[in-house]
Chains A and B, each alone.
Chain A
Amino acid sequence: AQTVTQSQPEMSVQEAETVTLSCTYDTSESDYYLFWYKQPPSRQMILVIRQEAYKQQNATENRFSVNFQKAAKSFSLKISDSQLGDAAMYFCAYRSAISGAQKLVFGQGTRLTINP
């Protein structure tokens, strides 16, 4: 079974600075998808960014980018120019690419605080 580990329960960063959240995963599969979700205090889960394992190029969405290291099974999220609205719980998630397998496997989450 696949597992996702986020080793940083909490992180903090100064507004306008850059922060990197870590995620590692364990799988024997070669094709899969990785995601970062944001959960603000409202508790809604918001999709931040998505990466296909077969793509070598790291995904980018505005101020959010990932560093995908397939051999190391590492998938970190970099937030540039941090804003107060970025404060939230961030979850890394894995999804198999096997047909019929659709569930997301989530990590434990990292709580990000933005200091003004």
Chain B
Amino acid sequence: EPEVTQTPSHQVTQMGQEVILRCVPISNHLYFYWYRQILGQKVEFLVSFYNNEISEKSEIFDDQFSVERPDGSNFTLKIRSTKLEDSAMYFCASSERGRAGQYFGPGTRLTVT
């Protein structure tokens, strides 16, 4: 069964550093998403991406964040200058159509020290 994959599984970085989180969505899916979950809290939407552009973003997704689909398979989330409060689990998801169920990857645990 096709799965969304994410790398790395755990990333530790120092405050102020840039990080890139990588995702490989399910191959025939057209819509891609990033969510985050701060420990003990609910899952929060960051951004959705379709047809090589952002289709929706939340207030959390400020100028420090960017997304890119650099090739036909990868989907990345970049945080330019990490803050302590960016420490969270980051989930990538994809869906076949905009209205279909979203399938999540295993997540990347980001720890900012």
Contacts and interface: CB of A to CB of B under 8 A. Distances in A.
Interface of A: 33, 35, 37, 42-47, 50, 91, 93, 95, 97, 99-109
Which 8 residue pairs across A and B have the least CB separation, nearest first?
A45-B104, A103-B45, A102-B48, A106-B43, A44-B106, A106-B42, A47-B101, A50-B101
Interface string B97-110: 01101111111000
B68 to A, nearest CB: 18
B102 A104 contact: yes
A91 B43 contact: yes
B55 A43 contact: no
B56 A100 contact: yes
Interface of B is mostly: strand
A59 to B, nearest CB: 11
Interface residues on B, range: 20 to 34
Contact of B48 (A103, A106, A109): A103
B48 A46 contact: no
A91 B42 contact: yes
A47 B102 contact: yes
Contact of B103 (A47, A102, A103, A106): A47
Contacts of B58: 103
A97 B99 contact: yes
A33 B93 CA distance: 17
B65 interface: no
Given A44-B106, A102-B55, 12 more contacts: A35-B101, A43-B106, A44-B104, A47-B104, A95-B99, A100-B98, A101-B56, A102-B98, A103-B33, A103-B56, A104-B35, A104-B45
Given A102-B55, A102-B56, A109 B105 contact: no
B28 to A, nearest CB: 16
